[in-house]
Structure 1
Amino acid sequence: MNIYLDLEGEIDPLIAGLKGSPDKVSKATKRALGKLAKFAERNVLREVSRQVGVTAKLIKELGRVRATLKKATNRDTGEYELVVWLGIFDIPAHKLGTPRQTRAGVRTGKHFWQGAFLFQPVNAPKAMVFKRAANWKHRQQRSRKSGRLMWIGLPIEKQSLPIYQQAETALANMEPLLLERFSTLLQQELNYAFNIESR
C-alpha cells in the first residue's frame, strides 16, 4: 500500500519570488525533502503502531514502513513526490510476542488466540501459532521426523493479525499532516538558505 504526495502545490507559493536564486532554492528543497522523509517514516510507524496495537519497534523490524523521495515522472503530478510504502500482509501471531500456551489457547504479547496451539513445522526455526480449521477432521499423516503414521486433526491454519484496514486508516490520517509538515520544513530551509547560510 502506497500514498503519493504531490508536493508542487506546497512548493510553488513559497518559492514564487525566489526564481533568481535557483541553486539556493534547490538546496533548501532537497534538505526539506530529506527531513520530510525521516519525519514521514517515524510518524507513519507511530500511527500504524497505534492503530494496529503493536509496538512501532516490531513494525520497523518487520520492514513494514518505508518513505522515499523522487522526482515525479508525470508532469501532471508535480515535480516532487514523497512515496510512503506500507506492507499490509498479516503479521504472524508468533511475531507479536513470546507465544505462551494456556488451556484455552495461546497468548502472544497483548493478543490471545482462542483454541490455538503451538506447533513447530519441520522447516521452521521455532514454534508458531496454529488453529484447526472449522471443517477439520482426524486424518492419518506420516511424520517427517520419525516416519510413523499419526492421527492428526487437519487442516490447521497459521494464525496472524490482519492489519489492512488499520494501515489504510493510518495512511489517511497522516497525509494532511505530512503536507503541513513539508510546508513548515521548506519555509525553515529557505529562511536558512537566504538569511543564514549566505552570510
Structure 2
Amino acid sequence: MATTYLNIKGDRLKAIADDFAVTQKQIDLACKRAISKLARHLKTIALRNISELTGIKQTVIRRRVFLSLNGQRQTARIWFGVYAIPLREMNPRQTRTGVRAGKIERNHAFIQQKNGGPEVYRRVDDRRKPIAIQYARIESEVSSVIDADVLKAFDKKFYVFFEREIKWESSK
C-alpha cells in the first residue's frame, strides 16, 4: 500500500486568518484542532465507505484503522491495515452450498469449531487434505476509497474546520 501525503496551502490559511485578525498562537491552536477534527472525520468516512463497498461490518474494519495525532508538528496519520480479514470475524453461517459471511459467499467451504470459536475452511483440491483458512481481501476497496472519497473530503472539509476554529479563537 502506498503512502499518501496531504498538504495544506498556507496562503489559504493566511487569508482565512487575516479575516479574523488573530495572533500566531491562536492560528496554531486553531490549526491543531482543525487537523484533529479532520483526521477523525476522514477516518469515519473511510470506515463507512469501506464497509459499504465490502459488506464487512465497521466493527471488524475499525480494528484495522489507526489514528495518531502529533500536535507539536501539526500532523495526523491515519493507518489502514489492508491485510486479509479471516471470515471467522464476520459471523459466518453454514449454508447448503458452503459458507456465507456478510456479503461474501464461499462455495464448498465449511465451518470447524476451534478453541477461539468457528473457523472457515475450504479444501485446496479434491482430496480430503490440505484445507485452507478462508479470508476476505480488502486492498482494492481501501485504495479506491482513499483515492476517491477521503481525498475529496479532505479538500472540502479542512478549510471549513479551520475557519470554525479561527472564529472560536477570535471570539474568546
Pick the TM interval, shorter chain.
Answer: 0.7 to 0.9
* C-alpha displacement of 1:71: 6.9
The TM-score normalised by the length of structure 2 is 0.84
How many residue pairs match? The answer is 167
1:27-84 per-residue CA deviation (whole Å, 9 max, x = no partner) reads: 1111111211211111111111112122223312xx1112333379xxxxxx744322
Aligned residue among 106, 109, 115 for 2:108: 115
Structure 1 SS opposite 2:129? strand
5+ residue gaps, structure 1, are: 73-78, 138-152
Partner of 1:130: 121
The answer to whether residue 155 in structure 2 is matched with residue 179 in structure 1 is: yes
The answer to whether residue 24 in structure 2 is matched with residue 22 in structure 1 is: yes
Partner of 2:12: 13
5+ residue gaps, structure 2, are: none
For residues 9-158 of structure 1, the aligned pairs below 5 Å read 9=9, 11-16=10-15, 18=18, 21-60=23-62, 63-70=63-70, 80-97=74-91, 99-121=92-114, 124-134=115-125, 136-137=126-127, 153-158=128-133
Q: In structure 2, what is the Cα distance between the partners aligned to 1:56 and 1:103?
A: 27
**Contact residue 87 and residue 135 of structure 2 kept, 8 A:** yes
**Contact residue 82 and residue 138 of structure 2 kept, 8 A:** yes
Q: Which runs of 4+ in 1 moved over 6 A?
A: none
Which one has the largest radius of gyration? 1
The TM-score normalised by the length of structure 1 is 0.74
**Contact residue 122 and residue 133 of structure 2 kept, 8 A:** yes
- The structure carrying a bigger helix percent of its residues is 2
